[in-house]
Structure 1
Amino acid sequence: MAFEPPRRLVRALGETAPDGDGWLERLPELARQAVALRELTVERVQVPGGRSSLVVLVRRADGSPAVLKLAPPRARPLSERVALAHWGGRGAVQVLDEPDPTEGVLLLERLHPDVSVRSLPEAKALLEAAGTLRRLWVEPPAGHRFETVAERTGRQAEAMRSAAAADPEAAPLVEAALAIREELLVRPPEGVLLHGTFRQSKVLAGDRTPWLAVGPDPVVGESAFDLARLVRDRVEDLIAQPSGAATTRRRIKRLAESLEVDQERLRGWTLFRAVESGVRARRVGREKDAELLLEFAGWL
């Protein structure tokens, strides 16, 4: 079959590498090779799919369902493989194959790709997502090479400074976000392995357990950093509410208490991550997303 990348993937990769790196052009052949090597039968490409990888629903030689995932090097697929292997299926999707010379290819347990926690009512979705996230916060493997929160946010901070210089409107929020990052990194709690890009849509229905996380971009650091992205889930709904700011503050309090995370640290990382995402969205021309995220950050 033709392994045509979904438009969402093409658009998202164009934002992260506007000059291209050749991976999309090689993708159809990479997919064909991966399918042949593993003796898989292809059912369909998942659409709209993710923003950093091609996801293909397949069956193995014994007829059992699986997912073939192909990601470019910039998506750090090796880190994803190592993290998933370390979790061993506890709270996250399982890896079904061993590493091969083709970097960026994973064969994964089949979940229910069209059923995420986001399909639940908001209060129930937050509860289930938070419970799933808690299971992932474990000690990282010995000798790990995962990026730390300080390293990742350091790269992001440099890009934010550059963006703020060209965007006076966002500059005050950027300054506040950078200042709070510096405060948070002075005496951080002990680091654990984090999902890195956790949100409701990253939690899918499974068979061996009701909900499992997918698509990590793992990082090592304090749990409040991971939880911060969950705070702003369904941000468009929050912005549309007259009581959106108050709802956000209650959400921070509720999540912090339920997962035993310091409330002020959660608020701080929520601010930093929202501003970083908003500035990045504006840089690549997603103005509507930028406006929502920066307005949300202003509540914090």
Structure 2
Amino acid sequence: MAFEPPQRLVRALGETERNGAADWLVKLPELVQQVVDLRELTVERVQAPGGRSSLVVLVRQADGTPAVLKLAPPWARPESERAALAHWGGFGAVQLLDGDGGEGVLLLERLHPEMSVRSLPEAKALLEAAGTLRRLWVEPPAGQVFESVAERTGRQAEAMRTSAAADAEVAPLVDAALAAREELLASAPQARLLHGTFRQSKVLAGERMPWLAVGPDPVVGECAFDLARLVRDRVEDLIASPSGASITRRRVKRLAESLELDQERLRGWTLFRAVESGVRARRVGRPQDAELLLEFAGWL
């Protein structure tokens, strides 16, 4: 299959600083062809701009049923995504069509990629996104080992400390974020299976249900960690608003109350995740994104 991977994916892989990213991209067309031939799929088109960690191809199965073929490198934890989707069983999330698609290969129910919750007015989008997220917060499957919030944020915390040591400008926010993490982990409530990277653009319109989540990077931990990423959705609009800081504080309160979570725990995880994303954006050469995220974090 001759094609050019979407530029968004190419740029994102270039930022991962991982060995093997370039080789995976080079081998991607051959891998797609192998999977398509093995499963007798008909390719319609590559989804663009697509994701930042995987290739998404719109296909049809041998019987004509529309589907989505997703291919992800090992460091994107595709097998963890497969396990989570299988556990959710299509409730609140896209349906896994092939339980054994091969390493890094997922065959998924076709949703409407052009229509995400982000296309709705802000208040409605937050309501629908939060309702979708609530369905995913279930007991982790027995015997399945997912990464914990403590483990994932531990790796992130180390990278943040390194960045702060070399960049005095971000050090105060990093210190505040790391202190918040330590306090939150010292008193974590009951753990649930979490989406891990939830935001409005990860909720697409479907046929079985109006809205379904896609693209999890599942993790086990407290629900406030999952909701924290949603708080900063449309951050560019928040920063552009003269009342962005007060809107953010109201959003934290409203989301925490709607999902019956502790407001201060949600604020703390929102701070940590925003600083982590901002410092990482600064490190990989996305200064505009970094500026937005770190200004947002300063409001918390």
* Interval containing the TM-score (normalised by the shorter chain): over 0.9
Q: What corresponds to 2:274 in structure 1? A: 274
Distance across 2 between alignment mates of 1:61 and 1:165: 55
Distance across 1 between alignment mates of 2:118 and 2:33: 32
Whether 2:190 is the aligned partner of 1:190: answer yes
SS in structure 2 opposite 1:67?
Answer: strand
Distance across 2 between alignment mates of 1:135 and 1:237: 28
Distance across 2 between alignment mates of 1:187 and 1:98: 36
Cα shift at 1:18: 5.5
Distance across 1 between alignment mates of 2:145 and 2:163: 29
Cα shift at 1:191: 0.2
Determine if contact 2:281/2:287 at 8 Å carries over to the other structure.
Answer: yes
Cα shift at 1:3: 3.4
Distance across 2 between alignment mates of 1:137 and 1:15: 30
Q: 1:49-71 deviations in whole A, cap 9, x for unaligned? A: 00000000000000010000000
Determine if contact 2:228/2:266 at 8 Å carries over to the other structure.
Answer: yes
Q: What corresponds to 1:230 in structure 2? A: 230
Matches within 5 A, 1:172-211: 172-211=172-211
Determine if contact 2:82/2:99 at 8 Å carries over to the other structure.
Answer: no
Q: What corresponds to 1:292 in structure 2? A: 292
Is there any run of 5+ residues in structure 1 with no aligned partner, and where?
Answer: none
Q: What corresponds to 2:58 in structure 1? A: 57
If the length of structure 2 is used for normalisation, what is the TM-score?
0.98
Q: Give, as a single letter, the amino acid of the residue that structure 1 aligns with 2:94.
A: V
SS in structure 2 opposite 1:58?
Answer: strand
Q: What corresponds to 2:88 in structure 1? A: 87
Q: What corresponds to 1:110 in structure 2? A: 110
Question: How many residues matched?
Answer: 299
Whether 2:259 is the aligned partner of 1:259: answer yes
RMSD: 0.8
Q: What corresponds to 2:239 in structure 1? A: 239
Determine if contact 1:3/1:31 at 8 Å carries over to the other structure.
Answer: no
Q: Give, as a single letter, the amino acid of the residue that structure 2 aligns with 1:47.
A: A
SS in structure 1 opposite 2:294?
Answer: helix
State the 4+ residue runs in structure 1 displaced beyond 4 angstroms. Answer: none
Cα shift at 1:20: 4.1
The answer to which of 104-113 and 1-10 deviates more is 1-10
SS in structure 1 opposite 2:58?
Answer: strand
Cα shift at 1:210: 0.3
Cα shift at 1:98: 2.5
If the length of structure 1 is used for normalisation, what is the TM-score?
0.98
Distance across 2 between alignment mates of 1:91 and 1:18: 32
Q: 1:205-237 deviations in whole A, cap 9, x for unaligned? A: 000100000000000000000000000000000
The answer to which of 51-60 and 18-27 deviates more is 18-27
Q: Give, as a single letter, the amino acid of the residue that structure 2 aligns with 1:93.
A: V
**Aligned sequence identity (%):** 83
Distance across 2 between alignment mates of 1:167 and 1:273: 18
Determine if contact 1:85/1:95 at 8 Å carries over to the other structure.
Answer: yes
